[in-house]
Amino acid sequence: MNYFAHPTAIIDQDCEIGIGTKIWHFSHIMSGCIIGEACNIGQNVVISSAVKLGRNVKIQNNVSVYTGVICEDDVFLGPSMVFTNVINPRSHVNRKNEYAQTLVHKGASVGANATVVCGNEIGKYAMIGAGAVVTKAVKPYALVVGNPARQIGWVSENGLKLQFDIKNKAVCPETRQEYELEGGEVKRVK
Protein backbone atom coordinates (compact mmCIF):
# COMPACT_ATOMS: atom_id res chain seq x y z
CA MET A 1 0.00 0.00 0.00
CA ASN A 2 1.29 3.42 -0.97
CA TYR A 3 -1.33 5.17 1.17
CA PHE A 4 -2.28 5.17 4.86
CA ALA A 5 -5.60 3.78 6.11
CA HIS A 6 -6.53 3.75 9.79
CA PRO A 7 -7.40 0.20 10.97
CA THR A 8 -11.05 1.19 11.49
CA ALA A 9 -11.45 2.44 7.89
CA ILE A 10 -13.29 0.18 5.45
CA ILE A 11 -11.88 0.09 1.94
CA ASP A 12 -13.82 -1.94 -0.59
CA GLN A 13 -12.17 -3.74 -3.48
CA ASP A 14 -11.67 -2.08 -6.85
CA CYS A 15 -10.85 1.40 -5.52
CA GLU A 16 -8.03 3.50 -6.90
CA ILE A 17 -6.21 5.32 -4.12
CA GLY A 18 -3.27 7.58 -4.88
CA ILE A 19 0.17 7.59 -3.30
CA GLY A 20 0.42 9.47 -0.02
CA THR A 21 -3.32 9.64 0.64
CA LYS A 22 -4.45 9.32 4.27
CA ILE A 23 -7.78 7.78 5.25
CA TRP A 24 -8.79 8.24 8.89
CA HIS A 25 -11.03 6.61 11.53
CA PHE A 26 -14.33 4.97 10.59
CA SER A 27 -14.30 6.12 6.96
CA HIS A 28 -15.73 3.98 4.17
CA ILE A 29 -14.23 3.99 0.67
CA MET A 30 -16.61 2.23 -1.71
CA SER A 31 -15.67 0.21 -4.78
CA GLY A 32 -15.28 2.00 -8.09
CA CYS A 33 -14.15 5.36 -6.69
CA ILE A 34 -10.93 7.09 -7.69
CA ILE A 35 -8.95 9.04 -5.11
CA GLY A 36 -5.92 11.01 -6.24
CA GLU A 37 -2.50 11.38 -4.65
CA ALA A 38 -1.88 13.18 -1.35
CA CYS A 39 -5.55 13.42 -0.35
CA ASN A 40 -6.64 13.60 3.28
CA ILE A 41 -9.92 11.82 4.07
CA GLY A 42 -11.07 12.75 7.59
CA GLN A 43 -12.90 10.74 10.21
CA ASN A 44 -16.33 9.26 9.42
CA VAL A 45 -16.23 10.09 5.69
CA VAL A 46 -18.00 8.07 3.01
CA ILE A 47 -16.70 8.09 -0.57
CA SER A 48 -19.35 6.42 -2.73
CA SER A 49 -18.92 4.41 -5.91
CA ALA A 50 -17.87 6.28 -9.06
CA VAL A 51 -16.76 9.38 -7.12
CA LYS A 52 -13.60 10.98 -8.50
CA LEU A 53 -11.25 13.01 -6.33
CA GLY A 54 -8.24 14.79 -7.78
CA ARG A 55 -4.87 15.34 -6.16
CA ASN A 56 -4.55 16.97 -2.72
CA VAL A 57 -8.28 16.98 -1.94
CA LYS A 58 -8.93 17.62 1.76
CA ILE A 59 -12.16 16.22 3.21
CA GLN A 60 -12.88 17.07 6.82
CA ASN A 61 -14.83 14.91 9.28
CA ASN A 62 -18.41 13.69 8.74
CA VAL A 63 -18.73 14.28 4.98
CA SER A 64 -20.49 11.94 2.54
CA VAL A 65 -19.33 12.29 -1.05
CA TYR A 66 -22.08 10.63 -3.08
CA THR A 67 -22.05 9.07 -6.54
CA GLY A 68 -22.11 11.83 -9.13
CA VAL A 69 -19.59 14.09 -7.38
CA ILE A 70 -16.29 14.97 -9.01
CA CYS A 71 -13.72 17.08 -7.15
CA GLU A 72 -10.73 18.36 -9.07
CA ASP A 73 -7.27 18.98 -7.55
CA ASP A 74 -6.84 21.00 -4.34
CA VAL A 75 -10.53 21.03 -3.34
CA PHE A 76 -11.36 21.57 0.35
CA LEU A 77 -14.58 20.13 1.84
CA GLY A 78 -15.30 21.46 5.33
CA PRO A 79 -16.61 19.52 8.32
CA SER A 80 -20.11 18.07 7.95
CA MET A 81 -20.77 19.69 4.57
CA VAL A 82 -23.35 17.86 2.45
CA PHE A 83 -23.64 16.82 -1.19
CA THR A 84 -26.91 15.55 -2.64
CA ASN A 85 -27.21 13.44 -5.79
CA VAL A 86 -30.95 13.33 -6.53
CA ILE A 87 -33.17 16.41 -6.97
CA ASN A 88 -36.38 14.83 -5.66
CA PRO A 89 -35.56 11.86 -3.40
CA ARG A 90 -38.30 9.56 -2.17
CA SER A 91 -37.77 6.44 -0.10
CA HIS A 92 -40.32 4.46 -2.11
CA VAL A 93 -39.00 5.55 -5.55
CA ASN A 94 -35.73 4.12 -6.89
CA ARG A 95 -33.83 6.96 -8.60
CA LYS A 96 -30.37 5.38 -8.83
CA ASN A 97 -30.40 6.06 -12.58
CA GLU A 98 -31.13 9.75 -12.03
CA TYR A 99 -28.03 10.83 -10.11
CA ALA A 100 -27.06 14.35 -11.14
CA GLN A 101 -23.39 15.26 -11.53
CA THR A 102 -21.83 17.88 -9.28
CA LEU A 103 -18.46 19.23 -10.38
CA VAL A 104 -16.21 21.06 -7.92
CA HIS A 105 -13.37 22.70 -9.82
CA LYS A 106 -9.73 23.07 -8.83
CA GLY A 107 -8.98 24.92 -5.62
CA ALA A 108 -12.60 25.51 -4.55
CA SER A 109 -13.52 25.41 -0.85
CA VAL A 110 -16.85 24.41 0.68
CA GLY A 111 -17.35 25.59 4.26
CA ALA A 112 -18.51 23.65 7.30
CA ASN A 113 -22.17 22.53 7.26
CA ALA A 114 -22.75 23.89 3.75
CA THR A 115 -25.04 21.99 1.37
CA VAL A 116 -24.40 21.64 -2.36
CA VAL A 117 -27.55 20.63 -4.23
CA CYS A 118 -26.72 18.19 -7.02
CA GLY A 119 -26.34 19.18 -10.63
CA ASN A 120 -24.43 22.38 -9.86
CA GLU A 121 -20.92 23.38 -10.80
CA ILE A 122 -18.58 25.12 -8.36
CA GLY A 123 -16.03 27.26 -10.21
CA LYS A 124 -12.30 27.12 -9.62
CA TYR A 125 -11.11 28.77 -6.41
CA ALA A 126 -14.69 29.64 -5.40
CA MET A 127 -15.41 29.94 -1.68
CA ILE A 128 -18.68 28.59 -0.27
CA GLY A 129 -19.31 30.05 3.20
CA ALA A 130 -20.14 27.93 6.23
CA GLY A 131 -23.79 26.87 6.29
CA ALA A 132 -24.52 28.09 2.75
CA VAL A 133 -27.00 26.20 0.57
CA VAL A 134 -25.82 26.13 -3.05
CA THR A 135 -28.79 25.84 -5.42
CA LYS A 136 -27.16 27.12 -8.64
CA ALA A 137 -23.77 27.28 -10.33
CA VAL A 138 -21.03 29.28 -8.60
CA LYS A 139 -18.59 31.32 -10.69
CA PRO A 140 -14.82 30.90 -10.43
CA TYR A 141 -13.33 32.98 -7.57
CA ALA A 142 -16.83 33.82 -6.25
CA LEU A 143 -17.55 34.16 -2.54
CA VAL A 144 -21.07 32.91 -1.75
CA VAL A 145 -22.97 32.75 1.56
CA GLY A 146 -26.47 32.19 2.90
CA ASN A 147 -29.58 30.15 2.14
CA PRO A 148 -29.99 30.13 -0.75
CA ALA A 149 -26.35 30.97 -1.42
CA ARG A 150 -25.78 34.38 -3.00
CA GLN A 151 -22.59 35.97 -4.17
CA ILE A 152 -21.20 38.73 -1.95
CA GLY A 153 -17.75 39.17 -3.48
CA TRP A 154 -14.67 37.60 -4.96
CA VAL A 155 -11.67 35.80 -3.46
CA SER A 156 -8.10 35.15 -4.51
CA GLU A 157 -6.57 31.72 -5.02
CA ASN A 158 -5.42 31.96 -1.39
CA GLY A 159 -9.00 32.59 -0.23
CA LEU A 160 -8.70 36.27 0.65
CA LYS A 161 -11.37 38.80 -0.31
CA LEU A 162 -10.50 40.85 -3.39
CA GLN A 163 -11.21 44.59 -3.60
CA PHE A 164 -11.50 45.74 -7.21
CA ASP A 165 -10.58 49.32 -8.12
CA ILE A 166 -12.28 51.53 -10.72
CA LYS A 167 -10.19 49.84 -13.43
CA ASN A 168 -11.54 46.42 -12.31
CA LYS A 169 -8.14 45.33 -11.03
CA ALA A 170 -7.42 43.72 -7.63
CA VAL A 171 -4.38 42.37 -5.82
CA CYS A 172 -4.35 39.53 -3.30
CA PRO A 173 -3.16 41.10 -0.03
CA GLU A 174 -1.21 37.94 0.83
CA THR A 175 0.47 36.85 -2.41
CA ARG A 176 0.35 40.09 -4.44
CA GLN A 177 -1.15 38.12 -7.34
CA GLU A 178 -3.17 40.34 -9.66
CA TYR A 179 -6.77 39.73 -10.75
CA GLU A 180 -9.05 41.30 -13.31
CA LEU A 181 -12.85 41.56 -13.37
CA GLU A 182 -14.30 41.59 -16.87
CA GLY A 183 -17.85 40.82 -17.98
CA GLY A 184 -18.83 39.50 -14.56
CA GLU A 185 -15.92 37.02 -14.47
CA VAL A 186 -12.66 37.12 -12.52
CA LYS A 187 -9.37 36.01 -14.03
CA ARG A 188 -5.93 35.86 -12.53
CA VAL A 189 -3.46 38.01 -14.44
CA LYS A 190 -0.44 35.90 -15.35
Domain count for the chain:
1
pLDDT at 171: 98
Residue 96 phi, psi dihedral angles, 5° rounding = -65, -20
Tell me the pLDDT tens digit for each residue of 56-97: 999 999 999 999 999 999 999 999 999 999 999 999 999 989
Does residue 190 have a pLDDT over 90? no
Contact 109, 157 (CB under 8 A): no
pLDDT at 1: 82
Q: Which of these, 52, 163, 150, 154, lies nearest to 103 by C-alpha position?
A: 52
- Domain membership flag for residue 164: no
Helices in the chain by DSSP H: which ranges?
A: none
Whichever domain contains 38, its CATH number is 2.160.10.10
Does residue 54 have a pLDDT over 90? yes
- Domain membership flag for residue 166: no
Q: What is the number of other CB atoms lying within 10 angstroms of the CB of residue 158?
A: 12
What percent of the chain is modeled with pLDDT above 70?
100
Domain that holds residue 125: 4-154
